[in-house]
Chains A and B, each alone.
Chain A
Amino acid sequence: MSFEPKIVAFLCNWCAYSGADLAGVSRLQYPPNMIPIRVMCSGRVDPQFVLEAFKNGADGVFIGGCHTPGDCHYVVGNFKAFKRVVLLKKMLEQFGIEPERVRIEWVSASEGKKFAEVTKEFVEQVRALGPLNYVKREKA
């Protein structure tokens, strides 16, 4: 059986989650590998959540927020999220996890098409990277 990546997505309520809803209303098809978790703001995403996802078998983590600058419902939460992801990627590299397994994207409430496209792209990106098997890697 071919490898089906498991991806956890943190989507901000105002932009990315609404964009995902619009993709649904527009019946845009994309792969079902991503399980979304709705957060009010991408700024809520603690880097620990990403690590926890990898620890529990995720092959990739997606964070969706509002466009910068200015679209964030909470003014600057998206910037905070972005800064944290930049640092987190450096740390992941030191753990031996490919930083490409984490992706942060800005998707507005009117960008259903973008949501579907980015999801497709990310699923393929993680598929190309192969399974993470973090727990196995750690033991090896």
Chain B
Amino acid sequence: MYGNDFPGEDAPGGLLGEVEAAEAALRAAAERGRAAAEPGSDLAAYFAEVVDADQKIEPRDWMPEAYRRTLIRQIAQHAHSEIIGMQPEGNWISRAPSLKRKAILLAKVQDEAGHGLYLYAAAETLGVSRDELVDLLLDGRQKYSSIFNYPTLSWADVGAIGWLVDGAAIVNQVPLCRCSYGPYARAMIRVCKEESFHQRQGYEILHTLAHGTAAQKAMAQDSVDRWWYPSLAMFGPPDGDSTHSAQSMAWKIKRFSNDELRQRFVDMCVGQAEALGLRLPDPELRWNDERQAYDFTQPDYDELMRVIKGNGPCNRQRMEHRRRAHSEGAWVREAAAAYAAKRAVKEKEKVAA
């Protein structure tokens, strides 16, 4: 089981257990009564009460404007990440080492597109249109995860992305299955169920390489060396510097702090790296008996800020590719719309006749 076993929660074990527990909690919370079952005149109090009861806020409920804006920003950024995230892996589809690996990678990249679409749909329930969201990404006014601005230089990177990048994403995303906004929580449950395949396929690629020839093992090690710190940086700046955290925690959009999740991820990876026979590139990594957790070297947050600001190794390439794909797909959208319009006219004529 490569999933994350969170201490203190007695789920059936692993990632899928966590997701199922979140799903069960969602149902249980929906059945629990609250003191005031209906929204009275005080909408803000009603909102707070629903959130406090761990129930879900739904699209047509009243919500604070800042809650709506925070969710749109977060869900859109998440959706953009899934869409841009197809590029580094898509880079290896034509060069996958076997037909089996190629079919699996195709399925995985298709899943990423699907995850982007679930999330765009969840964002749209907050009153923003798909067109606006696409424009925000293409104009660079909304971000995507900094991790996708790093290049995939070898086949082993496809493995490292699955194991470390998807692994970090899962640690981030499993708590989002319990987010207070219903459509986001439900989308995340779908996403997480599919992500566990992604993480395992990545781990399997690395395991195969690490137990292959010396050159293959070196390729796997090089890949882990390059992806480890960027993956740690995926959890965002340290708690002290994180601007949105406190309010998001109060609204139960976010359940754990950046540093807590980063620690979970490190603790989870150490044993998995041992099983691979690969080394995590951190000489300071060691068990701390007092904290019952691993001590580790923090990622370079200045580098994270540089990449977020647009100066990572692949930022320009990723955005150019996305813009080109969007404009080259214009004729497909136009043709489909023209065909739909023509058919609608014909249908109308048929009804009139």
A and B held together in a complex: no
Chain B residues at the A interface, C-beta cutoff of 8 Å: none
